[in-house]
Amino acid sequence: MIVLGIESSCDETSVAVIRDGVLASNLISSQDFHKLYGGVVPELSSRAHLERVLPLVKKALADNNLSVNDLDLIAATAGPGLIGALLVGFIFGKTLARTSGIPFVPVNHIEGHIFSGFLMDTKPDFPFLCLVVSGGHTMLILVESFTSMKILGTTIDDAAGEAFDKVAKMLNLPYPGGPSVQKAAMAGNPGAIDFPIARLSNEFDFSFSGVKTSVLRYIQKLESPPDQEMINNIAASFTASVTGALLNNVRKAIKKYKINTITLTGGVAANSHLREGFIRLGEKYGKKVVIPDFQFCGDNAAMIAFRGLSLHEAGEKFDPAYEPFPSFFSKYITG
Amino acid sequence: MEGRFIVSGRDETRALAENFLNDLHGNEFISLTGNLGAGKTFFVKILGEIAGLKGVSSPTFAILNYYEGGKINLYHYDFYRIKKAEELYDIGFYENLDDDSAVKIAEWADLFPEAIPSQHISVSINLLDNNDREYTFKHIR
């Protein structure tokens, strides 16, 4: 079984091949397309996806000595995301599947993240808890099987990754905000400043807008612009606050639900404070911990190909008239 | 609704948002401006709550969120991550401008003033020293 996966929901175009259950290629535009063509960083646009998707598909096939006729299944991200961006990968994949006479599987991007742990040698055991944290999403999900999931909590305002980016901007730290806040935080004191996190009516929900404003307020009240030590302390205290809120909800869910594994995925899973805290939490409660490699945490097509394969193997069939969806939609996930 | 209002806390913000919403026909374009942390998304979230739109959250990453099923339909944009005006074509910004069945709100609209319809409502939010918020509403024609 050879599966082609395509992801184009936001900034990255990505193409992956899974061959007999083993990941053979996972090309991601920000890395691989630039290696191919060099030059300018393409801006956010469907035109950029359009320019990148065909060369990436050709490269993924060529790297594995495959032709289009060898493919058995094509999966592409159907949503959520920017409709113009989604349409490029989705229509490309759907058309290629149609003309090749093979099945096409539309994939929910979040479901891709949820099952990205299965791309690792050590795989999650059902039922498991998944914390998806990225620039655009913050969700805690109870995963019972490949076709049954429940959202326990979600952000009511900003995503965790967005809070990192915006605090980086307030501190004049370079983009992308996640790594630069982490670097400053390493040298700072996480207990220096108390940035409170809101308590919410749903015990598993998240809110990061308030902590962002607290940081802003704190900086504005300083008599002079913050020196490096102060920047480090703000970054460390802010990080402690955000990771504390994330881990606290995971802890509550571990206590409330019978689960075997906890998994952490999405771009913010790269944050070392969050990773370390997550691993400690798993050790404390005797749960298996799965944190995918970074190439599977950010937006990537390997997770889309895997998710497509898992739905296909579960016997799911999709109408050829299936349309992409910009807003969140999943028949496998309950609110 | 026009003028300058200073509000303190969630309840006063909600009362202000309620008045603002009552004056809308449901097809307006609203430019929403204010610094990082001023409370732009918060204001839209409160508007959404009053209008019966569920789960309004930050569009910074997604750039556009669409909500329906309440008293109004809503396109909620955020220009924060947009680098070039031409990217606005790609996100369908100009197509949705013609949609008379929905309110259009753009956070950080001041980043691309040339893209904003000449007739619109300008809402700016300013975070004051005591954590109060100053809202300024203007009809631009």
Give the tens place of pLDDT for each residue, A105-135. Answer: 999 999 999 999 999 999 999 999 999 999 8
pLDDT for the residue A42 = 47
Q: Name, in order, each residue with C-beta under 8 angstroms of A121's C-beta and a sequence gap of 6 or more.
A: none
Query: Rounded to the nearest 5 degrees, what angle is found at the Cα of B127, between the Cα atoms of B126 and B133?
Result: 80
Whether a cis peptide bond, with omega within 30° of 0, leads into A42 is no
Number of continuous H segments (helices) and E segments (strands) in chain A: 11, 11
Residue A39 is predicted with a pLDDT of 45
The CATH number that domain A2-114+296-334 falls under is: 3.30.420.40
Rounded Cα distance, B15 and A79, in Å: 35
Distance, in Å, from the CA atom of B36 to the CA atom of A64, rounded to the nearest integer, reads 47
What does the alpha-carbon distance between residue A186 and residue A169 come to, in Å, rounded to a whole number? 18
Helix (H), strand (E) counts: chain B: 4, 7
Report yes or no on B41 lying in a domain. Answer: yes
Name every chain B residue with its beta carbon within 8 A of the beta carbon of A46.
Answer: 90
Residue A245 to residue A204: CA distance in whole angstroms: 10
pLDDT at A221: 92
CA–CA min distance B86, chain A (Å): 9
Q: What is the pLDDT along chain A (335 residues), one digit of tens a residue?
A: 999 999 999 888 999 999 999 999 999 987 666 556 554 444 567 888 998 999 999 999 999 999 999 999 999 999 998 888 999 999 999 999 999 999 999 999 999 999 999 999 999 999 999 999 998 899 999 999 999 999 999 999 999 999 999 999 999 998 788 999 999 999 999 999 999 888 899 999 999 999 999 999 999 999 999 999 999 999 999 999 999 999 999 999 999 999 999 999 999 999 999 999 999 999 999 999 999 999 999 999 999 999 999 999 999 999 989 999 988 899 999 98
CB atoms within 10 A of CB A299: 27
Quick check: is B83 in a domain? yes
Q: Tens of pLDDT along B25-54? A: 999 999 999 999 999 999 999 999 999 998
pLDDT (0 to 100) of residue A16: 98
* B82 lies in some domain: yes
The H or E element containing residue A164 is helix A160-170
Structural domain total, chain B: 1
- For residue B108, is it within any domain? no
Sheet holding A14-19, edge to edge: A22-28, A14-19, A2-7, A73-79, A104-108
Structural domain contains residue B109:
no
Helix/strand/coil for B35: coil
Domain A122-291 annotated CATH 3.30.420.40: yes
Domain limits for position B81: 3-103+118-140
A-facing residues of B in 74-133 (CB < 8 A) are: 81-84, 86-87, 90-92, 127, 131
**Do the domain assignments include residue B58?**
yes
| Residue A101, helix vs strand vs coil | coil
∠ CA(B90), CA(B95), CA(B96), 5° rounding?
A: 105
Full-model pTM:
0.92
**Chain A within 8 Å of B66 (Cβ-Cβ)?**
yes
Query: What's CA A144's distance to the chain center, in Å?
Result: 20
* A176 secondary structure, DSSP code: S
The pLDDT assigned to A32 comes to 66
**Residue of B39, B61, B83 lying closest to A159 (CB–CB):** B61
- Average confidence score pLDDT of chain B: 94
In whole angstroms, give the CA distance from residue A288 to residue A118.
Answer: 13
Q: Is B33 helix (H, G, I), strand (E, B) or coil?
A: strand
DSSP code, position B105 = E
Integer angstrom CA distances of residue B103 from A92, A142, A181, B76, B94: 32, 35, 36, 8, 14
The interface pTM score, or ipTM, of the predicted complex is 0.86
Select the residue from A40, A50, A83, A238 to test the B interface by mutation, using most B Cβ atoms within 10 A: A83
What's the CATH number where B62 sits? 3.40.50.300
Contacts of A319 (CB under 8 A, 6+ apart): none
The residue to which tokens 């969806």 are assigned: A325
Q: What is the mean pLDDT of residues B71-100?
A: 89
DSSP assignment letter at A122: S
Residue B111, in any domain of the structure: no
B18 in any annotated domain: yes
Q: Residue B133's beta-bridge partner residues? A: B7, B127
Chain B residues whose CB is inside 8 A of the A216 CB are 35-37, 127
Give the single-character DSSP code of A247: H
Q: Of A137, A162, A216, which is closest to B37 when you measure between CB atoms?
A: A216
Question: How many whole angstroms separate alpha carbon A159 and alpha carbon B132?
Answer: 24
Nearest by CB to residue B36, choosing from A10, A137, A169, is: A169
User: Which part of chain A has CATH 3.30.420.40?
Assistant: 2-114+296-334, 122-291
Q: How many angstroms separate the CA atoms of B10 and A217, rounded?
A: 18
What residues of A are in contact with residue B37 (Cβ under 8 Å)? Answer: 166, 170, 212-213, 215-217
- pLDDT of A40 reads 44
Nearest CB to B62; choose among A136, A154, A161: A136
Strands (E), A261-306: 261-265, 288-290
Share of chain B above pLDDT 90, in %: 81
